[in-house]
Amino acid sequence: MESIADRLMLLLILSDLALLGTRQLRRVILIAGLQGILVGALALASHPGSLTARALWLAALGLGMRGLLFPWLLRMVARRTDADSLDQRLQPYVGYGTSLLLGIAMLAGAMALGARLPLPASTPSGLVVPGALFTMFTGLFLVIARRKALRQCLGYVILENGIYGFGVAAVGEVPALVELGALLDLFLAVLVMGVAIYRITEEFDHMDTEKLDLLRG
Amino acid sequence: MDSSLLIWAALLTPLAGALLVLLARSPRTALRLSSAAGLASCVLAAALGVAGFEPILPSAAGGWLRVDALSAAHLLLLALVGGTSSAFALVYFGDEIDRGRLTPRQARVFGSLWCGAFFALTLLLVSNNLGIMWVGMEATTLLTAFLIALHVSRESLEAMWKYVLICSVGVAFAFMGTLLTAAAAPAAGAPQALSWTGLLADASRLDPNLMRAAFVFLLVGYGTKVGLAPMHNWLPDAHSQAPSPVSALFSGFMLNSALYCILRYLPVADRATGGGGWPRELLLGFGLLSLAVGAVFILFQRDAKRLLAYCSVEHLGLVAIGVGLGGFGTVAALVHSLNHSLAKILAFWSVGRLGQAFGSHDVARMSGAFRASTVWGVGLLASLVALTGAAPFATFLSELSVLRAAFGRGIVFALVLASLALAFVGLLRHTIRLAWGPSEVEPRRLDDGRLDRALVAVTLLALLGLGFGWPQPLLHVAESAARVVNGEATLAAGGLR
């Protein structure tokens, strides 16, 4: 391991594996928050020679939102919907052990894909594409393989972490307006999903998406 | 008005309307304000659309905002769908207010989000920066989510959840595609890296492998929002549960706006990958699958609004096929997207109003539509026949034109013809039942006002008029927009006039 970016990407990959095998909702939220801090730090570590004040405050904003605000928001939704106790009763579509095994296969796939994708020479780490793709796959897998709406929302946040990690490391600077717009959209998406989960729990008395099957055909 | 001022006015008017509606105390005031703001926004969008065909293209904010023929054509479509649906909202929600089914809070939520959606749609159309275009697309998802569950029920919440989750994940894929496009640019990391004009000028210098990967992400991502199969699962649920003016906006324009995002990337991806038509072939494949899936699912629908939603999957598939064929196919596809929108808004308005009379959107319960209202019965019958692609309606001519473009490609032609025939049979069967079939319930007789009659008559006349030929201004708009999509490719000579 040579650069900080390499180490951060490695930690990101480890956090994905942890997310796939973790049963407790509280821990999943915590790990998703830590991932937010990791990709925020990646933004700072990726291009250390060209750090501007603008890049600094944008990275800080992203880090604060992904690392602190989202975990707080999702914890609040979990508390209000009594998600912790519900979590004990709801088994996911794919078990945690199997998820972990599938995760290793996804990692191998991400490595193979990453090797085929030529990136600009300025990319700080060879692990950027595999790490970002694996995080995206993990997020998508959680959206599909988990039954509870809150866990699916967390899957979306993790998917976004992967995309953000790829963006900051492989693309470098995108216009501040675009980055702010994307952050605002992400914030609104998590907020809308949080409110939706709250309303679904109120109406259905559960947030088991398997039982959201009134609309068919 | 100065063209840059016009862009700002088109953007800020719906935003101001969204805020103004929040101040309304009574539901009727909120409804009138939202419709007025919606209409004003659409007048400005139309003016901007017309300006987009002038020799000097409107632009603002140092080139970040720009209107060309492709965005102008879509601005005109937004003006048509949004303006008429804003007027229809007065009829539809007016009835709900009369029957005490719309609270002041619900009216404010509707008005504010309705205008907010117009802002987001206008933003994505006038943006020259592909990142801002993405922001606009995602904003439409988030702003319209609560419109689906305006009347809270188990079904509407389920539809809202599926819509938010599937579309957000889809649009996140589109963001990955946007970032890969930026990474493919020789000036990656530079402020102009996501400028569409900059990317098009530099397209031959983009990394072809990264651009291929980018286009796959973009097609899957934005394709989810278009409702292309197999990413279409959210669409029947959201369209069936949303109030009818919202369903009309969804089906009549929001799907087209997502397709617009794909069309923006087509010439860039095509040039970057050597000009061999690889991105078009991919779009063509998704189009064929969507057309077939839509046609099959139309056969088995029991809910009239779900039926219309699958009809959207079918027709948007056909539009994707036309664009995928390129050349004259793109012109035919763009005209067909206008014709589909006209037929679809009339169909959703009619089903919405008749649903209010029958108390259900179930085909079996809604049968014998004329007993509830002659005006909306005619609207339903005509729009459904138009959606089958039958003459003398406009959709017949545009479907025929897409078929003509596919004529040289044996398998594509055969698949399109077979799917269209299947959809025709399926939809016609439902149409006959809805218009004249025996009903399980006795409907409330609707009181058709002048606005009801005007909305049906104008849309119907447009559908009939465009069935006899494409007037020169429409052909000019479609050809100019197609030139942008085809990357200035020479169009096939002639065209249906």
Nearest-by-Cβ selection for B169 from A149, A159, A182: A159
Q: Do the Cβ atoms of B314 and B255 come closer than 8 Å? A: no
Instruction: State the nearest Cα–Cα gap between A117 and chain B, in angstroms.
Output: 6
Q: How many CB atoms lie within 10 A of CB B191?
A: 15
Instruction: State the nearest Cα–Cα gap between A171 and chain B, in angstroms.
Output: 5
Q: Do the Cβ atoms of B23 and B78 come closer than 8 Å? A: no
Instruction: State the nearest Cα–Cα gap between B136 and chain A, in angstroms.
Output: 9
Contact A163 B176 (CB under 8 A): yes
The chain B residue lying nearest A50, using CA atoms, is: B189
Nearest-by-Cβ selection for B132 from A156, A177, A193: A177
DSSP state for residue B150 in the 8-state scheme: S
Q: Which of A4-8, A171-175, B20-24, B183-187 has the highest mean pLDDT?
A: B20-24
Interface of B with A in 411-470 (CB under 8 A): none
User: What ipTM was estimated for this complex?
Assistant: 0.89
Contact A214 B241 (CB under 8 A): no
- Supply the mean pLDDT for chain B: 92
Nearest-angstrom CA–CA distance, B496 and B150: 43
* CB-facing half-sphere around the CA of B423: CA atoms within 13 A: 31
Q: Show residues of chain A in contact with B64, CB under 8 Å.
A: 177
Nearest-angstrom CA–CA distance, A209 and A93: 11
Lowest-pLDDT range, A72-81, B69-78, B424-433? Answer: A72-81
Contact A173 B176 (CB under 8 A): no
User: Which residue, among B11, B135, B196, would best test binding to A if mutated, counting the most A CBs under 10 Å from its CB?
Assistant: B135
Counts for chain A of helices (H) and strands (E), in that order: 9, 0
Mean pLDDT of B328-346: 96
In the block, residue with structure tokens 């197999």: B230
Q: Is residue B169 within 8 angstroms of chain A, CB to CB?
A: yes
Q: Is residue B87 within 8 angstroms of chain A, CB to CB?
A: no
Question: In chain A, what are the domain boundaries?
Answer: 4-204
Instruction: State the nearest Cα–Cα gap between A191 and chain B, in angstroms.
Output: 9
pLDDT in tens, A144-178: 988 888 899 999 999 999 998 888 877 766 777 77
Nearest-angstrom CA–CA distance, A2 and A125: 9
Instruction: State the nearest Cα–Cα gap between B401 and chain A, in angstroms.
Output: 31
pLDDT in tens, B159-195: 999 999 999 999 999 999 999 998 888 765 555 678 8
Bridge partners, B60 (sequence order):
B65
Q: Show residues of chain A in contact with B158, CB under 8 Å.
A: 200, 212-215
Q: Is residue B408 within 8 angstroms of chain A, CB to CB?
A: no
pLDDT in tens, B381-421: 999 999 999 989 999 999 999 999 999 888 999 999 999 99
The chain A residue lying nearest B144, using CA atoms, is: A192
The chain A residue lying nearest B293, using CA atoms, is: A217
